Chain A
């Protein structure tokens, strides 16, 4: 319960340990180093993002301690990978560490494997009621997140190695955002895991992430989607760096709530009830993740509108993707009102949260696959 109450105390800053300060100092040094080295390639927004990111991740690490270890590991290993490239992309094909571990594709395959292992371990833990197996599942999930982040970091660098004008943050296409989705959803889950000190929900959340990983693999094998592609002009905007992550915190949070709702529905029927948290906790978790999702999804939609105003000439064009974002948003707004204002609880809201997942998945996958519009970038 540390985090929630830490904030409410004025002595939050004085509660920070040496490691906390060291961690923040490292982040800021890194940001400052990047600034002195690459600052003249950045516009004012990018400079803002650089230091904004250092601030956000410092505070995040202070509020939720495991983040510090995660980010320092990711930074260290990614840097090792980047240095190991020696400026030569083809080293990914033969240099040992790159080829088997750190080149973005390898790291992402490790992420995928670890997520699937984590899923199996959580299931095993649920079946044999083993707290130890749960801990292993948790550790595997953390490692998967680390490998995913390392993969993205290295991929970011690789895109610049192709050519400086191709370089861009790897959140620009469906392949890359699926990685982001897996990472963010796991992190949200891991947060609740520490917060509620209960690991049994991994058996419900991780399968969804494994499904995302399955899609990722299919997308790579069948469609060769793993290639780093340069950005079309519409995507060359600093807005992307804000809009996409905000959206995926939203999607991730909604997905989490749906999987918790599944657990609620089972527990309500007495299935696995003795192995799962109480219905009250599940209900609370379901509400919270929808609330967090709604907040970030609101931000993401607004950022999207602002971006659209700059790229397409209008903040709202009733483009299919925009419209589906509105539908998702209305869906959860209704959910929240029913729960908070009408005070309704129980199976109805749980089913609704599950259906919400389908609406959400359609908005972020179905629209790209079935409906055409400005977001498909078929034309300029």
Chain B
């Protein structure tokens, strides 16, 4: 035995099964981490989730991007090393095995085989046995042994090649993967040659240290292009920042298409793009890219990966919800832009977030019950398109912001029409919706005039007077006056605190047993005051006199409800969308992955190897033919049930051959 040197024992270790299995286990466990902990999220999310201490610890361990850490890649590296040495160790044996028929076996060694049988009798010519072997797919060699003939036969040689294929495949796949991984980039970062940009600055201002040249071997980056815009870079997301990857061409988005099924689910995402020569600006080719149909040009694959709003132009009417004005002022804005407006001595910052050209919504419950038989097709009659909507934030002087979601088209609820606007104070919470009733002209003007009057203390005396006259036409002036005062008081209460203020008042001033009745009459007074106010404002605005019917009754009730809800709306303005000019944007992913071919080649080898190993069984068979006696033995590198079967099948067949001869 040669003394073991460190190199030799390392070689032993790497090529050992124990080491390989340990690596499998390690790799599996490490992989789990990355699936449980969401990878590559913004660092602030992690800080919120884990706190500063664990954030720092986890970041140090690379847990936010496990699959690219040095330690993870090292496991892969050792797997390649282990598989490589394993092949190196086994290869000579395999090649020898494939060539050899083991014809040199001695009778004694054959008699040690577990699978053997001996036959005595009239022995057929070796020719008949040879024929039998050939028929069963065995190749053989012949030599004389101990005064007889030894037929050394084998089948399923390819099984051994399978080992070679499957295991070298692992090496190919991992190397291919490493080529496409970001190791060189990590090295450059570690050496300080590249630096991640974390500031939110225009691409043109990103310094050279955060830019990668277009000759970069492999990359995978994203760019978002609004329609009619172009770019010659993509952004690689790294840790908590990004790098700018230069492209060898410029890519322009002409148009983004999105199609939907009737149920509102997306059906097609497609971008009409043009590739332009970077220097001359001349078009090179134009193509439509779709999901599952990328464009490959110059070794770079371009994919449709996301979409969004590219800065839709909005034309809006701004309604003041608190002031005495009953008219709107126009405003324009673009999605992704901010603008400031002055409202009631307050500066508000409007941040336009997103635009949706339509909204498929289900009204009421799903009409299909759980259907255990028959039709597997949902009944989609409950779907309808609520039309365009846009989302924005209103940021107040103190930096706090509320989010809003406004629909452009009126919505019908209980046979009445409303403008609908949603508010929430936290992202990801559901919106609370405010409904503003439409007047008979299907406009907001009626409600807004009524609102202005009911919010304006200057007109309360007039309202109260008209009210008192209409209900108490013949009574004493002081009796009328008393009623007027209580009307004004209630209007003021309502204007400042809505229904809760009134019910508070009742609770504190009216004995318990009379409260219900009081509440009824307060509500009645409020509605009748609203009626008076409405008649008044419509006359002032030279509108037809409101009809005295149910519809007007509902309109007044809805208006009061809306006024009450405005207390909780948070913003002093309502933005009504009048027109829009949609601009979409398309998110493209561009990749260069030269290792892919190696990976695919390796994959092919892997499949070939695995199936050869499983389905081609290596078998060896020896027949020692002596006068009056045949010794039959078999072996295989897999002790399976099939092997046992095959052994007994041959034993019977050979016994029969001997009998027949």
Contact = CB atoms under 8 A, between A and B. Distances in A.
A100 B378 CA distance: 18
B368 A224 contact: yes
Contacts of B28: 326-327, 330-331
A349 B291 CA distance: 43
Nearest to B308: A380
Nearest to A99: B374
A315 B180 CA distance: 10
A312 interface: yes
Given A8-B136, A8-B137, A227-B378, A236 B291 contact: yes
Given A220-B371, A224-B368, A295-B614, A103 B376 contact: yes
Nearest to B641: A284
A320 interface: yes
A89 to B, nearest CB: 6
Contacts of B370: 220-222, 224, 226
A378 interface: no
Interface stretch (A48-56, A115-123, A337-345): A337-345
Interface stretch (B261-269, B275-283, B393-401, B522-530): B261-269
A367 B31 CA distance: 13
A162 B377 contact: yes
B372 to A, nearest CB: 5
A145 interface: no
Interface in A191-230: 217, 220-222, 224, 226-230
Interface residues of B, number: 69
Contacts of A143: none
B211 to A, nearest CB: 21
Contact of A327 (B31, B294, B366): B31
B462 interface: no
B305 A380 contact: yes
A239 B290 CA distance: 15
B591 A302 contact: no
Q: Which of B25, B376, B610, B641 has the most CB of A within 10 A?
A: B376
A337 B31 CA distance: 20
Given A105-B371, A294-B610, A298-B606, A327 B291 contact: no
B378 A367 contact: no
A109 B220 CA distance: 46
Contacts, number: 186
B20 interface: yes
A302 B376 contact: no
A318 interface: yes
Contacts of B505: none
A229 B377 CA distance: 8
A17 interface: no
A109 B610 CA distance: 38
Interface in A287-320: 287-288, 291-292, 294-295, 298-299, 302, 305-306, 309-316, 318, 320
Contacts of B378: 224, 227-228
Nearest to A227: B378
Contact of B642 (A4, A312, A372): A4
A1 interface: yes
Q: Which of A161, A229, A230 has the most CB of B within 10 A?
A: A230
B10 interface: no
A313 B291 contact: no
Nearest to A283: B641
Interface residues of A, number: 83
B645 interface: yes
B261 A166 contact: yes
B607 A302 contact: yes
Interface string A26-40: 000000000000000
B600 interface: yes
Contact of B375 (A92, A311, A323, A371): A92
A237 to B, nearest CB: 4
The main secondary structure of chain A at its interface with chain B is helix
A324 B35 contact: yes
B261 A165 contact: yes
A233 B290 contact: yes
Contacts of A315: 593, 596, 599
Contact of B374 (A103, A228, A294, A340): A103
A227 B24 contact: no
A137 to B, nearest CB: 23
A47 B532 CA distance: 76
B34 interface: yes
A295 B611 contact: yes
Contact of A291 (B27, B177, B614): B614
B269 A233 contact: yes
A379 interface: yes
Nearest to A108: B376
B177 to A, nearest CB: 7
Given A234-B292, A284-B641, A314 B220 contact: yes
Nearest to B614: A291
A155 interface: yes
Contacts of B220: 313-314
Contacts of A334: 21, 24-25
Contacts of B177: 316
Interface in A238-275: 239
A104 interface: yes
B32 interface: yes
A65 to B, nearest CB: 19
B614 A234 contact: no
B34 A323 contact: yes
A169 to B, nearest CB: 14
Q: Which of A8, A222, A306, A342 has the most CB of B within 10 A?
A: A8
B377 A237 contact: no
B389 interface: no
28 contacts: A4-B645, A9-B135, A89-B377, A166-B261, A220-B370, A224-B371, A226-B376, A227-B368, A227-B376, A227-B378, A229-B263, A230-B267, A234-B292, A236-B292, A295-B614, A298-B607, A309-B596, A312-B305, A314-B593, A316-B177, A316-B599, A318-B31, A323-B32, A323-B35, A327-B28, A330-B28, A367-B35, A380-B306
Given A220-B372, A327-B31, 19 more contacts: A1-B645, A8-B137, A92-B376, A103-B373, A227-B368, A232-B265, A232-B266, A233-B269, A284-B640, A294-B610, A313-B305, A314-B591, A316-B599, A323-B32, A330-B25, A330-B27, A337-B20, A337-B21, A380-B291
Interface of B: 17, 20-21, 24-25, 27-28, 31-32, 34-36, 38-39, 66-67, 135-137, 177, 220, 261-263, 265-269, 290-294, 301, 303, 305-307, 366, 368, 370-378, 589-591, 593, 596, 599-600, 603, 606-607, 610-611, 614, 638, 640-642, 645, 649
Give the 8 A-B CB pairs with smallest separation, nearest first: A284-B641, A227-B378, A233-B291, A92-B375, A313-B303, A320-B35, A313-B589, A302-B603
